Structure 1
Amino acid sequence: MLASRLIKSLKFKQVVPEKYDDFLVSAVTQDTREITQNSIFIAISGSRIDGHTLVNEAVKKGAAMIVAQKKVACGDRPVVYVENTNRAMAILSDKFYGSPSEAMRMIGVTGTNGKTTVTHIIEEIFREHGEKTGLIGTMYRRIGKKIYPTKNTTPDIITLQRTLNEMVKQDVSSVAMEVSSIALVQGRVWGIDFDIAVFTNLTRDHLDYHKTMANYAHAKSLLFSQLGNGYGAKKDCKVAILNVDDPVGRKLEEDTAAHVLTYGVKHEAMIRATNIVIHSQGTDFDLSVFGKKQHLKVKMVGLFNVYNILASYAAAYTAGLDSKEIISTLTSFKGVKGRLQLIPTPLGISAIVDYSHTPDGLLNALETINDFAKRKVFCVIGCGGDRDHGKRPKMAQIALQYSDYPIFTSDNPRSEDPQKIIEDMLQGIPQNSDVKVIVDRRAAIEYAIEKAQPSDIVLIAGKGHEDYQIINGKKNHFDDVEEAEQAFKKRGAF
């Protein structure tokens, strides 16, 4: 695409000089490492690095045009001045990659907990329906069966548009995508033409970034207020799928002009679960869809997974899939790696690995386990470094109240002192409480599994699917499932 045609998509701009030699654009990027000859470099003022200071480096590497919001000097290279380079980046990347979200069914899922599970269930439903699918989220990006690594739950807008473009090339028809609150605030989904937006729930998380729960709730609301926000939006109707058992879900009905489909357990909803029975092998419940009931036996355990199933059913139902097809997938789906992932052993001791890194997530996991635990429950738990300090004592209190043997350890301390993080967790815990502190996570897991007796359950919480641990800024391989299996081997289980 010619540069002149591409920047024409920016309605308000100043080009200096006005006349320049046109060229075919090879890439649009804000990352100097991605620059090739005839790239357009977008200078973004980030929290750590100001891209305006990298303009000369970009020019040396082959950038033929600069997009900036501050005065820059870059020799004879044309500069496109705009008010907001983040917005310009969203518009330019959408145009450069051919507005790929308009060519597919886009389903965005937001909320504190459940995003990963819901997107995986949705993807599985559409795949079993015979469609080629795409998935973007915390664990990876997936196109069909091919997996690509990801750094953030929601990628930067250029990576996202590039990924969607590749999905279009590979004939993907439906995309299930996790949409984080931080990405919404930072405009990382500007220009993505969502057809269906799903809200799971809102509990404490990311307050190191959002500062208040009100700000956090507002961030989530952006997905629904911007529903159908593409720069060349499709004419199909947009649908907001809302959990009305969560007060924020009720509020979101006021924040969107889209059609609304509600789901829930406690309150009346268009799609509802009743008569819920939770057991160690799964969950049974009655599914009511606009008053029409049928009984389901699913392999996923826990009340929170009932909510995940309802949200997924609602998304597929909205897309027009047959109810029998949807239910067929729901009843066979076994879950997602690191989400209440069971590690059974011939010793009669079970370890469960779960990505419960928020107070509500931990509470959900422990309440679910307590519903079917026959004896004692061990809980190995830590809190991440360089994140919300306020949730640390809350996590500790939940572990103390809902498990028999809480063991406080490291999660991802990042740049913080692991011992200091545990001290934060211990605030508010009575001094005579039966809490074990083992800073080394491997040792903590080994201790719990060594002490557990037949019919006990060991919950290893916080990291879930993650296969690394960051200590002093260094990323080391560490997988809770692998560590649990090694600890069981020492007891002669395998």
Structure 2
Amino acid sequence: MLLTSIIQGMQFDIVQGDLNKDIKAIAYDSRNVTKDGIFVAISGFQFDGHAFIHNAIKQGASVIISEKAITVDKGITVLKVANSRNALANVSSNFYNNPTENLNLIGITGTNGKTSTTYFVKSIYEEARKSIALIGTLGTVMNNKVVKNKNTTPMSLDLQYFFSEMVTEKIDNCIMEASSHAISLQRVAYSKFNTAIFTNLSPDHLELHKNMEEYFGEKAKLFKMTSDYNIINADDYYGQQLIEMVKNDNPKLITYGIHSKADICATDIHYAFDHTLYTVNTPTGSVRIKVNLPGDIYVLNSLAAIACAYSNGIPLELIQSGINNIKTIQGRFEVIYEKDDFKVIVDFAHTEDALQKTLSIMRPFVKGKIILVFGVYADTSENGTEKRQGMGRVAAEFADFSIVTLDNPKQHNPSIMINETTEAIIRNNGDFEAIPDREKAIQHAIRISKDNDMIVIAGKGHETTQIIGDTEIPFNEKEIILDALAEKVSL
């Protein structure tokens, strides 16, 4: 494709070189550059792509897009831009022929509930015989093929490639998790969204966004990128703010909720440990819904999916079947083992709000104790301290016994992470033990448990690795749990 076509719509200054070049590929990692390619130099959090420009040229780059002044051979075309991430999104969309113009793209954002909602939407669309792909925390799913994503929402170049593959494979719809990082870092820029869904907002990722207002502001941007529908949780405080923000915009506003007045609402709710029954009420009818996951969390997440499907014209009987078809979601209140009243559950709850809701769901069905194993990933800033203290408070108030361990400590000081969490438990009169080694912490929970107890392993959910320092090691919680149970039985 000609460079002039690829840079259509991009604001830039020509530093040097020819725009009439044939381009074969685009890369933002110099190691992936190929002959006659564009290299987009991005100033990252750990590495600055501008430091690898000469490597990219050696690899065959004929065009450099840069935010900074650089000096290279005269044969190389250099385009200077204000924001390389935005430029990457722009050229990527153009290079793949703007694929979202040929998709019904649904974006979902919020602190918690994104993954389960995407799977509810996917199941409903499949029940309605509508082709649909999924992009999110558990990977990119197209025609039953799963590709692991490095991030919840891939980089814009990878994202546009996936979209183009969907178009090639004649997939008409895509449901995608749009993280706050992705919105802030321009990964979803130049994507045409038909529908946006808002689940909820509670403190998380404040190492990037600094405060809740900034965090909310990034999430809200998605709802200014839609053409057809904005679907918002009316029960959420920030959802109400978002409703006020977009209620006069052209995309139709659809609200959902349990406790607040909403277009799509749940009534007559019956709770059980392994499912929830409720009646969903819509402007054109009602139907009984069975969600095979417990608690209001999954009532709300299924309502979001129902609102999306309903607004896109899918009949209620197909919506009903689609929700019921989801029997479990990896790492989301996933029961790994159960025998009578004893259960071991793995859950992705990694925020104060999510952990409190998970433990609250369990409480009415526990005959013994709730034993919680958890760690808190957050940096060592003031916001990170607040998150650890908040989750420590929840552990003290909602679990009977907590084993504080590590999540993905990465580069941060493990002692600080453990100590700040346990200090909060002590302050709130909780009972706990600290075991930094996560595998040993899980094993200890199994060892001390009794027949009527419920154990919840929180924070990592579906993840099968643990990141300590720069090293990512295999870490499968399901295998650790089953091995520990087998060892306990043999004693």
**What range describes the TM-score normalised by the shorter chain of this pair?**
over 0.9
For residues 81 and 415 of structure 2, what CA distance do their matches in structure 1 show? 47
Write the distance in 2 (CA, Å) between the matches of 1:364 and 1:219.
25
Calculate the TM-score normalised by the size of structure 2. 0.94
Q: Tell me which residue corresponds to 2:362.
A: 369
Letter in 2 for 1:403: A
3-state SS, counterpart of residue 357 of structure 1: coil
Q: Secondary structure at the match of 2:376?
A: coil
Measured in 1, the distance between the counterparts of 2:468 and 2:65 equals 37
Structure 1 residues 38, 342: closer, same or farther in 2, change over 3 A?
Answer: same
TM alignment of 1:286-325, pairs within 5 A: 286-290=279-283, 292-325=285-318
Of 18, 21, 24, which aligns to 2:22?
24
Given that residues 347 and 493 in structure 1 are in contact (C-alpha distance below 8 angstroms), is that contact kept between their aligned partners in structure 2? Answer: no
Q: 1:425 aligns with which of 421, 446, 453?
A: 421
- Partner residue of 1:264? 257
Contact 1:205/1:358 (<8 A) preserved: yes
Alignment correspondent of 2:244: 254
Which of 52, 58, 68 does residue 56 from structure 2 map onto?
58
Deviation at 1:291, TM superposition (A): 7.2
Residue 28 (structure 1) shift: 1.4
Structure 2 residue aligned with 1:445 = 442
> Which sections of structure 2, spanning at least 5 residues, go unmatched?
none
- The 3-state SS of whatever aligns with 2:424 is coil
In 1, Cα distance between equivalents of 2:231 and 2:345 = 30
Does residue 208 of structure 1 match 2:207? yes
In 2, Cα distance between the equivalents of 1:324 and 1:291? 12
* Cα distance in structure 2, aligned partners of 1:474 and 1:291: 54
- Seq. identity, %: 34
What amino acid maps onto 1:241 in structure 2? I
Which of 464, 474, 478 matches 2:475? 478
Q: TM-score, normalised by structure 1?
A: 0.94
Residue 66 of structure 1: how far off its partner (Å): 1.4
Residues 362-420 of structure 1 deviation map (CA, whole Å, 9 limit, x = unaligned)? 01100001132222211111112537232101111111111111111111111223232
Aligned residues of 1:409 and 1:438 also touching (Cα < 8 A): yes
Give 3-state SS (helix, strand or coil) of 2:266's partner: strand
Q: How does 1:164-313 map to 2 (within 5 A)?
A: 164-228=163-227, 238-256=228-246, 257=249, 258-290=251-283, 292-313=285-306
Whole-Å separation in 1 of the counterparts to 2:454 and 2:284: 38
Deviations 1:328-350 (A, max 9, x none): 11123113100000123347521
SS of equivalent to 2:253:
strand
> Per the alignment, do residues 415 and 53 of structure 1 end up closer, same or farther by CA in structure 2, a change over 3 Å counting?
closer
| Counterpart-to-counterpart distance in 2, 1:340 and 1:97 | 38
CA distance in 1, matches of 2:180, 2:256: 21
Distance in 1 of aligned mates of 2:312 and 2:470: 44
Mark the CA change 1:17 to 1:438 in structure 2 (over 3 Å): closer, same or farther: closer
CA-to-aligned-CA distance 1:435-494 (integer Å, 9 cap, x gap)? 111221111111111222222110111110000111232111112211111111112289
C-alpha spacing 1:70/1:301, structure 2 compared with 1 (3 Å): same
Tell me how far apart the structure 2 counterparts of residues 473 and 107 of structure 1 sit (CA, whole Å).
35
8 Å CA contact 2:108–2:176 kept in 1: the answer is: yes
Once the two structures are superposed, residues 282-335 of structure 1 have per-residue CA deviations (whole angstroms, 9 ceiling, x without a partner) of 111121112733332321111100000000111111111111101111123113
Amino acid at match of 1:111: G
Deviating beyond 6 angstroms after TM superposition, the runs of 4 or more aligned structure 1 residues are none
- SS of 1:152's equivalent in the other structure is coil
Aligned residue for 2:265, secondary structure, equals strand
2:7 is the counterpart of 1:3: no
Instruction: Measure the CA separation in 2 of the matches of 1:250 and 1:179.
Output: 20
Mapped to 2, the partners of 1:82 and 1:419 lie a distance apart of: 43
Alpha-carbon distance change, 470 to 438 in structure 1, aligned in 2, over 3 angstroms: same
Query: Partner of 1:235 in structure 2?
Result: none
Q: Is the 8 A contact 2:127 2:322 kept in 1?
A: yes
Name which of structure 1's ranges 335-344 and 78-87 shifts more when overlaid on structure 2: 78-87
* Per-residue CA distance 1:206-261 (angstroms, 9 max, x = gap): 11111101111111101012224xxxxxxxxx100000111211111233322100
Q: Alpha-carbon deviations, 1:47-103, whole Å to 9, x = none?
A: 333322322211111011112232221112121223332222221111100111111
> Does residue 1:125 correspond to 2:124, yes or no?
yes
Q: Distance in 2 between matches of 1:251 and 1:417?
A: 37
Q: 1:11 to 1:399 in 2, by over 3 A?
A: closer
Q: Does the CA-based 8 Å contact 1:113-1:201 persist in structure 2?
A: yes
Match of 2:419, as an amino acid?
Answer: E
Q: Quick check: 2:231–2:253 contact (8 Å CA) kept in 1?
A: yes
How much does 1:19 deviate?
A: 4.4
**8 A Cα contact 1:110 1:200, kept in partner:** yes
Q: Check conservation: 2:41, 2:66, Cα contact below 8 A.
A: yes
Say how many residue pairs are matched. 483
Q: Structure 2: which amino acid aligns with 1:34? A: N
Return the offset for 1:275: 2.2
Residue type at the aligned position of 2:462:
H
Cα-Cα RMSD? 1.8
1:358 lines up with 2:351 in the alignment = yes
Distance 2:62 2:332 in 1: 47
